[in-house]
A and B are shown apart, each in its own frame.
Chain A
């Protein structure tokens, strides 16, 4: 089946550590996105990429980094510079004005 796969589903991080969230899609979409979701809030855009080897900062990029070396993959690294990383992270891909979402990764700082 075509879709977007995020892994892991749950992730625990110690303070000061970097962690990388995986996002893979087999929909052949050019555009991919990372969103952060906090309780009771909407989705906020972290980074997006509209083509391989190119990506742009979204509204809340500080403390995060991404790469887009392959069309299928758009991993997100949450660095130690991110002050409050505990949140639900959603990856999406899109084509023709419709976005498809993965099942999310819940990151908790312990």
Chain B
């Protein structure tokens, strides 16, 4: 069975500083990997996804993530954050043989301070 661990429940950072949100997964088969963002009282919006190909994936709002198969990680990064990036971020995994069902990590709250 697949599982996802987001190592930090909260990440405080100052505006314009870089940030990395960590995600590790476990699975016995090949996986698809996703990062979603959730603003208060809203649904989830897809930031980026890794399905195959290049291990460096670029998404919306200046975010990027790198798939590292040997370390089973898919960390999310942004070189310079804005106040508007304050939100909850979820890492998710879908196994290739389990249809499209997603398993989510516990989420990381990114708090950008002025």
Do A and B come together as binding partners?
A: yes
Q: Is A43 an interface residue (CB 8 A)?
A: yes
Contact present for A106 and B100 (CB under 8 Å): no
How many A-B pairs have beta carbons closer than 8 Å: the answer is 64
Q: Which residues of B contact A35 (CB under 8 A)?
A: 104
Q: Is A2 an interface residue (CB 8 A)?
A: no
> Which residues in chain A, 81-108, are within 8 Å of chain B measured between CB atoms?
88, 90, 92, 94-104, 106
Q: A40-B9, A41-B106, A42-B105 are in contact. Are A31 and B100 (CB under 8 A)?
A: yes
Residues in B with CB closer than 8 Å to A92 are 44, 102
B100 close to A94 (CB less than 8 A): yes
A88 CB to closest chain B CB (Å) equals 8
A102 in contact with B43 (CB, 8 Å) = yes
Q: How many interface residues does B have (CB within 8 Å)?
A: 26
B84 close to chain A: CB less than 8 A: no
- Residues of B77-106 at the interface with A, using a CB-CB cut-off of 8 Å, are 90, 92, 94, 99-106
Mask for B29-58, Cβ within 8 A of A = 1, else 0? 000101010000111111001010000000
The answer to the question of A45 belonging to the interface, with a C-beta cut-off of 8 Å to chain B, is: yes
Q: Does A48 contact B (CB under 8 A)?
A: yes
**Contact call B101/A33, Cβ cutoff below 8 A:** yes
Interface residues in A35-49 by Cβ distance below 8 A to B read: 35, 40-45, 48
A50 located at the interface, meaning its Cβ lies under 8 Å from any Cβ of chain B in the complex = yes
Q: Given known contacts A33-B102, A41-B106, A98-B46, what 14 new A-B pairs fall within 8 Å (CB)?
A: A31-B101, A40-B9, A40-B106, A41-B107, A42-B4, A43-B44, A44-B104, A50-B99, A95-B100, A97-B94, A98-B49, A98-B100, A103-B42, A104-B41
Query: Which B residues are closer than 8 A to A by beta carbons?
Result: 4, 6, 9, 32, 34, 36, 41-46, 49, 51, 90, 92, 94, 99-107
Interface positions of A (Cβ within 8 A of B): 4, 6, 31, 33, 35, 40-45, 48, 50, 88, 90, 92, 94-104, 106
